[in-house]
Amino acid sequence: MPSLIKRWCQSIDRSTIRSIDSALDQLCLPHNVNVPFLDSILNASQWKAKNSRLFVLNVGVPIVTLHLPQLLASHFLLYSMAVKMLHAPESIEEINLAEDLMNYYCKTASLIHDRSIEIYSLHAHIHLAQQVRKHGGLAHTSAFGFESCIRFISKKAHGSKHLVNPPTVTTINEIKWLDNRLDPYRTMLDQQIVLNAANLNSCNFYLRLKSLFVIYHTTIYSQPFKCKSYIISYIDSISKSVHYGNIILFMKEGSRLFAFVQKYTLNSTLITDYLDIPSSLHSQANKLFPILRLTSTFVLTPVDSIRHKCVNIPFKDYCCLSEMCTENTYAKHYLNRRANTENMIYCLILFPSDNSIAVVKAKQCCPAEHDGFVFFQSGKKKFTGVILEE
C-alpha cells in the first residue's frame, strides 16, 4: 500500500495531499480500531500495518474518490472491493467476483502506473482467492484475527485454530427511564416500546453492550468522546435488507434485547457517480461503500439483527459508511490437531529391574541385544523390558 500511495503523491499537488491528510486526521473511528494517522500520506511507508489495513478496507475509497484523478480512484476501488470481499466473504460468489477483480487490477496496474509496479507482492495478490477458498476469509487466517482478542484468551487458548467461547451478550452501564439524557428521545422511544408490545415497567435501559469480543456504545455514552462505536448495520426484520443506524440506547425486557436506533437512508448520490467502472460492478460497489444521510426516524431493532460496526467517512454533505466485518461466514473448519489415520499399537511391558509394568507405544520400543527383550526410551533414559502382550 505505501508503494501505491507514493505513486499517487507524484500525480497530485501539495494542496490535495494536505486535503487527504486532513480527511484522515479528522476521522472518528470505533474505539476498538481507533488508529490515528499520525503521518502524512507522503510518509505512508511509516504507517503501521493497521493503518494500511484500515485504509484499504474502510476509509480509503471515499477519501480518494474526492481527491484523486478519476482513473486512479477507480482503479483503487477495484482493489479495495476485492480485498474487502476476500477479507470476510459472505458467499462463494463473492470470492469468485473478488478473484476476477484482483486479476483485472494486477493485469492493468502497469498500464495505470508503469512496469516498475510489477513486483512479487503484486503478483501474490492473484493467489489470495485460492487461499480463501481453501482456508476461509483473510481476516481469520492470520495473526490479526487473534491479536485483538489476545488479552482475553491468551491463557485459555488451546490448539491452533478455534477461540474460546466467551459469554454471548452482556449489558453494561444501566440508565434510568427518567434520566435527563433521555429527554430528546423519550417520546419516540415510548412509541417504539408500544409498537413492540413491551411493558415499560419491566424494561431496563443500558448505554453499552458487549457481544462476544465486540463492545457497542450508544450516542448518549459517546458524547464526551471522539470515537464513534455506535454506528451499525443491521437486518431489517420486514424487508430483510441491510439498514444503517446510530444506536441511541439498549433496552432489555425479560430475555429480549433491543437497540434503539436512529436510521440512515440511502442518498440519491452514489459512490459510482464519481468513478468510471463497468456498470455490472455498480451494485456491489454501492453496497460496500453506500452514501447515506441521517434521518429523524427511530426504530427498536433486536440486538441479534445487528451485523457489524461501521466506520463513518464524511463525503461532501453526506457520509459513507463502511462495515467492519468480523464474522467468518465463509469458514473452513479444521481439527485442532492433525487427524491420525494409522492404527496405534501399544505394548504391555515388564521391567525386570523392579518388576514394574507399563503400557507404551509400540513405535517407542526397539529390539535389544538379548532375544525377547526390548529397549524403551523415555526422555534421555533407556529401559530394558519384556513385552508381555501387544
Domain ranges of the chain: 2-145, 161-324, 346-389
Is 28's pLDDT higher than 80?
A: yes
**Quick one: which of 88, 80, 73, 11 has its CA closest to 52?**
80
Residues facing 171 on adjacent strands: 209
**pLDDT tens per residue, range 203-233:** 999 999 988 778 899 999 877 778 888 999 9
Residue 339 confidence class, pLDDT cut points 50, 70, 90: very low
Helices 92-112 and 70-87 pack at an angle, to 10 degrees, of: 150
Q: What is the per-residue pLDDT across 140-151, written as a single tens digit (0 to 9) for each?
A: 765 544 454 544
Of residues 384 and 290, the one with the higher pLDDT is 290
- What is the CATH class of 161-324? mainly beta
pLDDT on residue 286:
93
- Asked whether residue 166 carries a pLDDT value surpassing 70, the answer given is no
The rounded distance, in Å, linking the Cα atoms of 123 and 344 is: 44
Count other C-beta atoms under 10 Å from residue 205's C-beta.
21
Residue 334: its pLDDT value, please? 44
> What's the confidence (pLDDT) of residue 150?
47
pLDDT value for 127: 84
CA dist list (Å): 2 to 9, 48, 127, 269: 11, 10, 21, 30
Residue 2 has pLDDT above 80, yes or no: no
Q: Give the mean pLDDT of 316-336.
A: 68
pLDDT of residue 335: 44
Please count the helices (runs of H) and the strands (runs of E) in the chain.
Answer: 13, 14
Looking at residue 144, what is its pLDDT? 46
Mean pLDDT of 8-36: 87
Checking if the pLDDT of 139 tops 60, the result is yes
Q: Could you give the residue ranges of the DSSP H alpha helices within the chain?
A: 2-9, 14-25, 49-54, 60-67, 70-87, 92-112, 120-124, 128-135, 144-147, 150-153, 186-195, 219-222, 282-288
Average pLDDT of span 140-164: 51
- pLDDT of res. 327: 55
pLDDT digits (tens, 9 = 90+) for 268-321: 889 999 998 899 999 999 999 999 999 999 999 999 999 999 999 999 889 999
- Rounded to the nearest 10°, the torsion over CA 127, 63, 116, 111 is 80
